[in-house]
Structure 1
């Protein structure tokens, strides 16, 4: 948000324009929409500029910005996100809980209803009756509301199950590829995405664990790799197929050139997990912390202040897996997690 506002104000100063709706439309046309952008960038930037223009109009009319101008859904979501961060919840967990709590607040429509547990139980039942959500989805919403009432609202005892219609828990058979199908899929992988797919199938990594691998996590001499902060924020060690040792060695030599180029051009180091970036500010520039599968181009993340190199995006890798499955003419729905299922099944 701060980035796009600074960008807009610098543009307005250079163009000798007064900040306002007219100059904002011109800025959007000339500087933002003139280049291809991602959907989340456009949504975030548009929301930031709208907020700024509304604030500017209130300042001009000498009307203070009231907290009531923020929707109830946004206030509840922000509270859950803030308390979740203080409790040390994972980022994805905080976003999930905040999203469900915001949906609940929007459904209630008033603070009095939000604080009433009977409405929470009614909403959980409504998810099953009207939205027809699965068991896992309802349980996720239940956990989010339990966190909201206990941790945000500081209630010691909360009853969210009495009289609530529970979604039926159905046993689903996971999708598993045969060894021949895996071979056909890997043959259709192109470019720099073949080795990540081979590593995912050979080690059973989750997608997030695969993308977040660092050079120091590979132990090629002992044929194993270490997964840091995996599911449940726990570390574990898994096997590394000997057939992938030589390809990984060549791959490390290749990305070492990319690493040296980043250091020569003065690019910021890679992002660090948790608070390690503050504790060890120079660690991101060390080879041991470099991504095993770095992205080909650099970029600026939402909360970053400078340009740096990130790992391959999850969605990009997922698209390549699906495209390879189509080219291989497999009759199954293929995703990266299917390789994890296949790894576990073929070990039996």
Structure 2
């Protein structure tokens, strides 16, 4: 009987797996080995990949049957091969992505998914569609990652297979799950004012005000340089944002006194919001003080910096701004992306009358004719 010993990535660690044609005696013998586990996903018994466990596994297998054939390299060789295999492919894939002029953020994300996939299928040189599905089931869906993350992982692997030509299947059959459609959380105009009033720190208040009044992404805010704020023209230049696009956004006149006060007090040198030693301000710091301000303002909604951007777009739409201009201000490449705000804007919805309101209005008209028994707190019919 032949038993194959191989390495693979499982539960974010390297493991030593065993695979063989089903044999009850061998199965029961393996279960007696200390610290061995069964992986339903990979259909194999496995141990943590350490030199000691490798030796223990080999000795244990050799105890059951003298003519057992073990298909294995040395542990060190097989770990070195795996490391070299993964690194070589990842390095080449990185060069490929850079050549395609993908952003640093996209490159980092795609390399991370690809490295996880290669570690999950350690030692394999070609991949089937079921290999991809097993990875998604175990590492993405199994770890309860979001649909958005799942879609990114599929995109990364499709691009990797196009580059490496290691897929044994038609890439057009590899589909992303449907995108989740959520209505964005939006603050009311009163809640925004409360949030600003109850943010005590001057710098924090200025950051919140600028994100909301200009509809900035948090990454755009921390990358914003002082040279790109044009006070005379009431404009801000957002450089090379999402999709490698420059765009202008508005600088609200009402924010100018706050802006002057902040600039004179903190005296930033390069970036609008600077952290330690003049470096970019931390996005995590912004999320932290925003959460603190929401608690002080007694806002129960789940608020993130992007909520302020959603609120900017929704309030602009409610104020009568054309959707095309909002699309330009937000930097959306597709009008469909901006259309989501039509689902939360009250501009047209408030004109629609509820059937209950219509019924009550009719009853009130009847009250003028002597029918006064109209309160909802008791039986209207008497």
TM-score of the superposed pair, with normalisation by structure 1: 0.61
**1:239 Cα shift?**
1.1
Over residues 273-327 of structure 1, what are the superposed CA-to-partner deviations in whole Å (9 max), with x where a residue is unaligned? xxxxxxxxxxxxxxxxx111111x22xxxxxxxxxx2121111111111111122
Match of 2:81 among 68, 71, 77: 68
Q: How many angstroms apart in 2 are the aligned matches of 1:108 and 1:224?
A: 51
Shift of 1:91: 1.4
Mapped pair 1:250 → 2:261: yes
Provide the rounded CA distance (Å) in 2 between the counterparts of 1:131 and 1:313. 28
Q: Give the distance between the partners of 1:87 and 1:157, measured in 2 at CA.
A: 24
Per residue, is there more strand in 1 or in 2? Answer: 2
Which residue, 110, 114, 119 being the options, matches 2:131? 119
Q: Contact (CA 8 Å) 1:72, 1:106: kept in 2 or not?
A: no
Q: Which residue does 1:149 correspond to in 2?
A: 161
Instruction: Give the alignment of 1:112-191 within 5 angstroms.
Output: 112-113=125-126, 115-124=127-136, 130-131=142-143, 133-151=145-163, 153=164, 159-162=170-173, 167-191=177-201
CA contact under 8 A between 1:133 and 1:167: conserved in structure 2?
A: no
C-alpha distance in structure 2 between counterparts of 1:312 and 1:328, whole Å: 24
Helix, strand or coil for the counterpart of 2:171?
A: coil
Q: How far off is 1:329 after superposition?
A: 2.0
Secondary structure, counterpart of 1:226 in structure 2: strand
| Corresponding position of 1:292 | 272
Choose from 295, 299, 311 the match for 1:330: 299
Change (3 A) 1:226 1:154: farther
Q: What's the secondary structure of 2:190's corresponding residue?
A: helix
How many residues are treated as equivalent by the alignment? 240
- Give the 3 Å change call, closer, same or farther, for CA 332–74 of structure 1 in structure 2: farther
User: What's the CA shift string for 1:234-257, capped at 9, x where partnerless?
Assistant: 00111111111232233334454x
Looking at structure 2, the residues matched to 221 and 198 of structure 1 have their Cα atoms a distance apart, in angstroms, of 19
Change (3 A) 1:100 1:128: closer
Output one character per residue of 1:135-170: Cα deviation in whole Å (capped at 9) or x when no partner: 32222111101221223x168997335276x53433
Worse overlay, 153-162 or 199-208: 153-162
CA distance in 2 between partners of 1:214 and 1:130 (Å): 42
Give the Cα separation in 1 of the matches to 2:178 and 2:135: 17
Contact 2:217 2:306 in 1 (8 A): yes
Cα distance change, pair 71–320 in 1 and its aligned pair in 2 (3 A) = farther
Aligned partner (choices 194, 209, 212) of residue 220 of structure 2 = 209
Coordinate RMSD, CA, aligned: 3.0
Structure 2 residue aligned with 1:88, among 101, 111, 119? 101
- The answer for unaligned runs of 5 or more in structure 1 is 1-62, 260-289, 299-308
Match of 1:342 in 2: 311
Matched position secondary structure for 1:235: strand
Q: Structure 2: any 5+ residue segments left out of the alignment? A: 1-75, 318-382
TM-score (norm 2): 0.56
The 1:239–1:230 alpha-carbon spacing in structure 2 relative to 1, beyond 3 Å, is same
Cα separation, 2, equivalents of 1:71 and 1:188: 55
Q: Distance in 1 between matches of 2:111 and 2:225?
A: 30
Q: Match of 1:229, SS?
A: strand
Which secondary structure state, in structure 2, belongs to the residue aligned with residue 85 of structure 1? helix
Alignment match, 1:196? 207
How far apart are the structure 1 equivalents of 2:316 and 2:263?
28
For 1:311 and 1:137, how far apart are their aligned partners in 2? 27
